[in-house]
Amino acid sequence: DYTGHHHLLVNKDLDDVNLDAPLPFTDQTVHFGGGQTETELELEPGTHTLQLLFMDYRHASFDPPVVSEQITIMVE
């Protein structure tokens, strides 16, 4: 199925992502390949950043990248 999907960057800056290679599956890159629209994250108390990145079916970026604004959240 050749559909793109979102990836959630958790505490990872877009500048640190190699957009020329498939995005690896890690705790800092949550894949939504099943069409999910929500998730629950287990984060330590403190400040965290979140950003959505839309990629193609190969987990490769578009040019230019399709991204949301990065947001900062506080977990108590």
pLDDT at position 21: 84
pLDDT at position 14: 92
Write the pLDDT tens digit of every residue in 19-63: 888 888 888 999 887 888 889 999 999 999 999 999 888 878 888
Evaluate if residue 13 carries a pLDDT over 80.
yes
What DSSP designation does 69 have?
Answer: P
CB 55, CB 7: distance < 8 Å: yes
- Select from 52, 55, 49 the least CA-distant residue to 21: 55
Distance between the two ends of the chain, CA-based, in angstroms? 40
10 Å CB burial of residue 17 (0-12, 13-18, 19+) is buried
Number of domains in the chain: 1
Q: What is the pTM of this model?
A: 0.86
Q: Which residue has the higher pLDDT, 72 or 22?
A: 72
Could you tell me the residue range of the domain that residue 16 belongs to?
A: 5-75
Q: Is the peptide bond before 24 cis (omega within 30 degrees of 0)?
A: no
